[in-house]
């Protein structure tokens, strides 16, 4: 069993013991609930002690995020640490990367031709060389001659594509509006995040100002790229894609409260009666009963 997330709890068991102002009586009392659950399910902390994961508005670093794993699975942990370079733009929490040694089936990615990155001059030059290898255009009197010429032309184009057009292995989760300019800005953002995390004890360091400015530019570029891609899509709409455009326009954004709200849940009890969960408390109870196994009985 693996628990990971933002628990928003402060305790000397995972926070810096020197930050005594965090360990109020109410904070310790709230943390005891989590500690009791960890003891109940036999979970241990695999994130190193005193690893800052959150920066407040007052530039204070704390450890509200954590990762817990069942003690019998500790040997499967290869690493567990923060990755400041992967911090998303606009986020105030540092991502935590956990690597486990688990048997997985690797699948070779499907390579595709990326015609957008093709060098047109190099393509034309190589295609001209391939066309010189086939018979020159001439009058054709039979169907066989026309088919043979068409096959020669197709083969010349395919040979050129194989030789010149670069290949890419797109991720299934890649965004269709993403550009190479954004990739460069994201790479630079990762570098700045990593450097700013190193100098987190020096809030006046210039790297923090540089990071803030680049985040604003990166956010503005993402918004502009999305808007341009959407306009290009609308201008290219035809009778086949008009319904898809209407669906996109009428579907709530993933950033809206309506899209992220959990719908009403239904579950059958032991008697077969359907129970509904409409409030957040009822939904949380449904999820807890469905995804978490009952704790083993305690020895007397």
Mean pLDDT by 10 residues, the chain (300 residues): 91 87 90 91 92 84 92 92 88 91 78 83 92 88 90 93 85 75 92 91 91 93 91 83 79 54 81 86 84 65
> What pLDDT was estimated at residue 296?
63
pLDDT of residue 295: 65
Hunting for tokens 């450097």 — which residue is that? 195
With 0-12 / 13-18 / 19 or more C-beta atoms within 10 angstroms meaning exposed / middle / buried, residue 93 is: middle
pLDDT at 299: 54
pTM to 2 decimal places: 0.55
3-state secondary structure of 83: coil
User: For 251, which DSSP code?
Assistant: S
In 10 A of CB 185, how many CB atoms?
19
Residue 83 and residue 64: Cα distance in Å, rounded? 15
C-alpha span between 287 and 300 (Å, rounded): 30
Cα(6)–Cα(28) distance, integer angstroms = 16
Tokens standing for residue 59: 């530039």
**2-104 CATH:** 3.60.10.10
End-to-end CA distance of the chain: 25
């Amino acid at each position: 069993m693996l628990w990971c997330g933002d628990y928003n709890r402060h305790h000397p068991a995972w926070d810096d013991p020197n930050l005594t102002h965090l360990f109020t009586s109410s904070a310790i009392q709230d943390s005891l609930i989590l500690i009791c659950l960890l003891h109940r399910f036999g979970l241990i902390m695999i994130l190193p002690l005193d690893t800052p994961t959150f920066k407040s508005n007052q530039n204070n670093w704390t450890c509200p995020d954590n990762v817990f794993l069942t003690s019998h699975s500790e040997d499967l942990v290869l690493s567990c640490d923060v990755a400041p370079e992967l911090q998303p733009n606009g986020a105030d929490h540092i991502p935590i990367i956990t690597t486990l040694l688990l048997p997985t089936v690797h699948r070779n990615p499907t390579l595709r031709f990326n015609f957008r990155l093709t060098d047109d001059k190099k393509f034309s030059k190589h295609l001209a060389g391939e066309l010189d290898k086939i018979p020159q255009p001439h009058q054709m009197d039979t169907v066989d001659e026309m088919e043979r010429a068409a096959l020669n032309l197709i083969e010349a184009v395919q040979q050129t594509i194989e030789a010149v057009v670069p290949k890419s292995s797109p991720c299934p989760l890649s965004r269709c509006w993403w550009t190479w300019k954004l990739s460069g800005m994201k790479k630079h953002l990762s570098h700045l995040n990593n450097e700013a995390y190193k100098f987190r004890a020096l809030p006046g360091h210039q790297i923090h100002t540089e990071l803030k400015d680049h985040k604003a530019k990166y956010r503005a570029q993402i918004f502009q790229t999305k808007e341009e891609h959407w306009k290009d899509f609308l201008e290219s709409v035809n009778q086949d894609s008009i319904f898809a455009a209407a669906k996109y326009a009428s579907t709530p954004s993933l950033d809206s409260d309506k899209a992220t709200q959990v719908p009403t849940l239904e579950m059958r009890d032991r008697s077969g009666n359907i129970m509904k969960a409409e409030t957040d408390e009822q939904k949380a109870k449904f999820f807890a009963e469905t995804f978490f196994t009952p704790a083993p009985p305690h020895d007397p």
